[in-house]
Chain A
Amino acid sequence: MALASVLNSDCGDFSFESTQPFPNRCGAGHSSQGFDATPGDGLSFFVKNSLSDTDDGVERKIEFLHGTTTLAFKFQHGVIVAVDSRATAGSYIASQTVKKVIEINPYLLGTMAGGAADCSFWERLLARQCRIYELRNKERISVAAASKLLANMVYQYKGMGLSMGTMVCGWDKRGPGLYYVDSEGNRVCGDLFAVGSGSMYAYGVMDSGLRQDLSVEEACELGRRAIYQATYRDAYSGGQVNLYHVHSEGWTRVSQDDVLVLHQQYKAQQ
């Protein structure tokens, strides 16, 4: 159910394979690291976990769909992209240092929410398609076209269990571009998006602070603060805030701040 997946709760009704692996960093088999488990992998180093059985005998895998907070917004100097870096496997924090921004090419960024494998695979495929477009047409692909390519690719797999909520951000001849694309088939253009279990908290901070005439520093601080507030409230978001700025020359990595350090900073400012 859509609401359950956004709130990353495991009351969704999913039917799964019979074993639950211990989370490990090797990524072997049914690794539940990252924000998704990929069923059907060839390797399988897993251990039967009786905790995953429920009383009625139906074994549920913990679906950590979209257990993250990512956001992006347009302003007069381009697009700010801010993401957290936590990966959870149920209530276990698998990693605090995940890179959730995928650098498609020097002027296009994609964010990652949902299944880590799904996001990075399809966005790498998108990078390949974008490069082919550039070679064929001798000009950079527009953000609209790149996002449409991605949306059409995943639409073919609709209903087959892909889990991907991504924002395609870039700068093209029409100026800053920001599209939200997901594995349900949504593709919308907009000025402001937040995706993931912490997205609602991020929306609150961003909507109340966003103005068109922000300077670059103010916009970065807004993005950083919004992710921090989301990590404060959402158990499935945390780690560091990775911040990128997309401008007419391409994207720049602005900063990486640990949310616990930010917490002390903001507290001191109060």
Chain B
Amino acid sequence: MEYLIGIQGPDFVLVAADNVAASSIIQMKHDYDKMFKLSEKILLLCVGEAGDTVQFAEYIQKNVQLYKMRNGYELSPSAAANFTRKNLAEYLRSRTPYHVNLLLAGYDDADGPSLFYMDYLSSLAKTPFAAHGYGAFLTLSILDRHYRPDLTREEAVDLLKMCIAELNRRFILNLPSFNVRVIDKEGIHDLEKISAGTKTDTN
């Protein structure tokens, strides 16, 4: 029902998430933000079971901030991703596992942009592009076909719009709008929301 996507470029990461907060068959909210800002240059996108998503993401968020306060510098995206995965793994075989699927996107001043895919079984993979949700079945092949490592930002946004157009065309559920953000060496920037009526350029 929910959809997350991330595309990494040479010096940026583009991420998008749908805006629907649903409860069974009802859309409770049309402008819900599924992205959690872990630090100035790290975003955590989180979907999954109600309650678990917010509780887990806020827990990670506060711990990343605590690290910064204690040590004077921030966790790198890779360290944050591994920290998140470790927590997921610890809780997995407890009485209260968190059923959440995550994308962690960040920019490290030393290593550049990175995108990490994590799922509820606490697998972790650093990938150039990734998606979560039923929509991923429809869009991963588009990303496989059209992705290049040297995409410009405009090309990445076009690729994103292509994916969303496919969702609007074939996905049974209506996902009317998507939050879009870019992370680069300057930090996190909000881009224009993509709505169902947005014109797409198909290359």
Contact = CB atoms under 8 A, between A and B. Distances in A.
Interface of A: 2-3, 5-6, 151, 155, 158, 180, 182, 184-190, 193, 199-200, 203
B28 interface: yes
Given A184-B51, A188-B32, A200 B26 contact: yes
Interface in B43-61: 49-52, 54-55
A203 B27 CA distance: 10
B24 A2 contact: yes
B50 A184 contact: yes
A186 B26 contact: no
A190 B28 contact: yes
B203 interface: no
Contacts of B23: 2, 6, 182, 184, 186
Contacts of A180: 28
B24 A155 contact: no
B21 interface: yes
A8 B185 CA distance: 52
B25 interface: yes
Contacts of B96: 158
B29 interface: yes
B25 A6 contact: yes
Interface residues of B, number: 15
A158 B55 CA distance: 12
Interface string B95-108: 01000000000000
Candidate in B23, B54, B96 with the most chain A CB atoms within 10 angstroms:
B23
A185 B49 contact: yes
16 contacts: A2-B24, A3-B24, A6-B24, A6-B25, A158-B51, A180-B28, A185-B50, A185-B51, A185-B54, A186-B21, A186-B23, A186-B28, A188-B21, A188-B29, A188-B32, A189-B29
A-B complex: 6 closest residue pairs judged by Cβ atoms: A185-B51, A2-B24, A184-B50, A186-B50, A6-B24, A185-B50
A155 B28 contact: no
B51 A203 contact: no
Interface of B: 21, 23-26, 28-29, 32, 49-52, 54-55, 96
Contacts of B29: 188-190
Nearest to A158: B51
B59 to A, nearest CB: 11
A148 to B, nearest CB: 10
A125 to B, nearest CB: 18
A13 B45 CA distance: 33
A7 to B, nearest CB: 9
B51 A155 contact: yes
A3 B51 contact: no
Contacts of B25: 3, 6, 200
Contacts of B28: 180, 186, 188, 190, 193
Contact of B55 (A155, A189, A200): A155
B24 A185 contact: no
A229 to B, nearest CB: 16
A150 to B, nearest CB: 12
A185 B55 contact: yes
A258 to B, nearest CB: 28
A3 B24 CA distance: 5
Contacts of A6: 23-26
Contacts of B24: 2-3, 5-6
Nearest to B51: A185
A199 B49 CA distance: 22
A203 B26 contact: yes
Contacts of B54: 185, 187
Nearest to B21: A188
B26 A199 contact: yes
Given A6-B26, A185-B52, 20 more contacts: A2-B23, A5-B24, A6-B23, A6-B24, A158-B51, A158-B96, A180-B28, A182-B50, A185-B50, A185-B51, A185-B54, A186-B21, A187-B51, A187-B54, A188-B28, A193-B28, A199-B26, A200-B25, A200-B26, A203-B26
A233 to B, nearest CB: 15
Contacts of A158: 51, 96
Contacts of A151: 51
A4 to B, nearest CB: 9
Contacts of A190: 28-29
A96 B50 CA distance: 32
